[in-house]
Amino acid sequence: MVAPHAALPKCVAVTGASGFVGRHVVRALREAGAAEVRALGRDAAKCAHVLPTDDHGVHVVLGDVFERNAIDELLHGVDAVVHCIGVRRELPGASFERMHVDATRAVIEGCERTGASRFIHISALGTRANAPTAYWRTKHKAEQVLRASSLRWTIIRPSLIHGPDGEFMHMTKGWALSRNAPWVAMPYFAHIEMPTGFPPKLPRFVSALIQPVAVEDVAKSVIESLRREQSIEEVYALGGPERLTWPELLRHVCDHVPMANRNKPMAPMPVCAGRAMAMIAKPLGLSDMLPFCESEPAMAGEDNTCELDKVRTHLGIVPSPFREAVAGYAERI
């Protein structure tokens, strides 16, 4: 049974507010009735572009998550915090360890200084201690830091998050329109399967399954978690209702992006080859030449799916289908 609604906290802080998920959370909070939303961002121009700065209930706090003054300004007097900071790939000064673990610790310490006790943490599906990638392992470490705190926490673990203003959909559109390399195909990572038996058969590429979730559903899970005491000290795996292979996902995007080549072939790359390329490029200073980092081939090669019974029962959320959503927003990517 879905837990009854409680009132939404009046004042909510959002970290990573100008990012893809953060900006949707800010808007969803205001639409759901939060009287004040404080949005942490580093770039004033970006915040002005993506956040509803004409809304007097949204107050942008400019600063870095590691600046104590900025964090204290953000958190002073707030009722709850939504932590949306995360990075897809490592950059100089922005490692997974720093942006996932250290940033989470900095916000938690700020909460404990200022008295903000409710904490919603956006993590990632696949996160675990023995994960094959630094991305997932550091996400897990951040969760452990939160669990060890005195805060009343909820952890949300989304699968691949999609939306018309998301980085993944922009990258996929670039492939569909032959604007990004590889220009002649839609690329994805896959494992090589060696058939057994006789007569011998050629190896084949096997795609993992992905369960993409709309960014609006991620924002909705934040709202409903804040409204329900039942969500405290709970972890919610969140995906869409469809389980797709990467070729199915990419083909659907290509079929709906205006002016895309509907006959564009799918191009599998072995997971092991992708990881090797990223590992070689990193010490040579060539990582920027690749559209992926060392973690991404391994993550894309692993099923990233979940059961939805818990979010439906606890939060009353029925995620929207990927195919239907993309068909509706493809012209706005």
3-state SS track over 262-303: CCCCEEEEEHHHHHHHHHHHCCCCCHHHCCCCCHHHHHHCCC
Question: Looking at domain 11-159+214-239+306-319, what is its CATH homologous superfamily?
Answer: NAD(P)-binding Rossmann-like Domain (3.40.50.720)
Q: What pLDDT does 245 receive?
A: 98
CA trace torsion 129, 235, 317, 26 (10° rounding): -90
Q: Give the model's pLDDT for residue 4.
A: 58
Of 24, 138, 123, residue with least CA distance to 83: 123
pTM of the model: 0.94
Residue in the structure block whose two tokens are 């993409």? 212
Q: How do the pLDDT tens digits run along the chain, 333 residues long?
A: 555 567 899 999 999 999 999 999 999 999 999 999 999 999 999 999 999 988 999 999 999 999 999 999 999 999 999 999 999 988 888 999 999 999 999 999 999 999 999 999 999 999 999 999 999 999 999 999 999 999 999 999 999 999 999 999 999 999 999 998 889 999 999 999 877 777 777 788 999 999 999 999 999 999 999 999 999 999 999 999 999 999 999 999 999 999 999 999 999 999 988 888 888 877 777 777 777 888 899 999 999 999 999 999 999 999 999 999 999 999 999
